[in-house]
Amino acid sequence: MIDVYSWTTGNARKVYIMLEETGLDYRVHPVDITKDDQFKPDFLAISPNNKIPAIIDRDGPGGTPYALCESGAILMYLADKTGRFLPADPMGRSLVIQWLMFQMGDLGPMFGQAGHFMSRKDQPGMAPALAHFTKGAKRLMRVVDGRLGDNAYLGGDEYTIADMAVFPWCQNWEKRGFRGEDYPNFKRWFDVIQDRPAVVKSDGIAADLGKSARAARQGAGK
Ligand SMILES: N[C@@H](CCC(=O)N[C@@H](CS)C(=O)NCC(=O)O)C(=O)O
């Protein structure tokens, strides 16, 4: 059994997708980052950087519980645990990790900042930061589209953890102002992935967590 301490966001959804794809047994424990649950000592003990997602694999290496945070590390751990979605050969493996790290180190932070400033675009002084991060996000979309022009998936011919990492961050691409005709290879890839049953299920998990949190807030009169 894998205990998942997580929320509704893109980094959370990467892990739900992988757990659904692999069929591992898991249960989700909401960590409501809008209420600062991520700063509670129990959570910090497994995620010292106060970020979701984190997991505890009750049947970790050697049969003992194993705690892990950082979504990229979790995806690699679950891939190694199940022998799925990360090739074993050194070249195939490192190529998938290359695109996973591209998401972790570049696409995720850039899209995150672009989204942050987009949602504050009507506040004074936001224009330069919004222009900077939007330009960066567009560049990264071109990188993804170029890669997917030559390959069915980011890591090559097969769907892997690199796709699971990038996909949730692109889910609202139209709202971010990207147009399908500008990124046709990306759009083909996105349409294939969004129909995968595991991806549909993971969307439901995130949506249900959000709904419960909203209901709890309304119940508390907030
Ligand atoms: N590098 C981390 C980033 C995770 C992350 O940014 N999590 C956000 C939600 S998507 C979070 O927990 N924010 C709460 C906070 O910063 O206090 C990962 O990929 O797991």
pLDDT digits (tens, 9 = 90+) for 144-200: 999 999 999 999 999 999 999 999 999 888 888 888 889 999 999 999 999 999 999
Instruction: Indicate which CATH number applies to the domain containing 123.
Output: 1.20.1050.10
Residue-wise pLDDT for 37-78, tens only, equals 999 999 999 999 999 999 999 999 999 999 999 999 999 999
CA dist 12 and 169 (Å) reads 10
- Ligand 1: does its nearest atom lie under 6 Å from the Cβ of 52? yes
In a domain, 103, yes or no: yes
User: How long, in residues, is the chain?
Assistant: 222
Cα–Cα distances in angstroms (integers) from residue 59 to residues 53, 166, 174, in the given order: 18, 28, 40
Q: Tell me the residue range of the domain where 18 lies.
A: 2-84
CA 179 from chain center: how many Å? 22
Distance 211 CA to ligand 1 centre (A): 20
Angle of helix 197-219 versus helix 10-22 axis, rounded to 10: 130
| Tokens matching residue 132 | 């900077």
Read off the pTM. 0.95
Is 18 in contact with 75 (CB distance < 8 Å)?
yes
pLDDT digits 0-9 by tens, 81-101: 999 999 999 999 999 999 999
In this structure, which residue's CA is closest to atom 19 in ligand 1? 71
Atom of ligand 1 nearest to the CA of 51: 12
Q: Answer for the pair 35, 59: CB distance below 8 angstroms, yes or no.
A: no
Is residue 206 assigned to a domain? no
- 113 C-beta closer than 6 A to ligand 1: no
- Cα of 75 vs centre of ligand 1, distance in Å, is 15
> Within a domain: residue 44?
yes
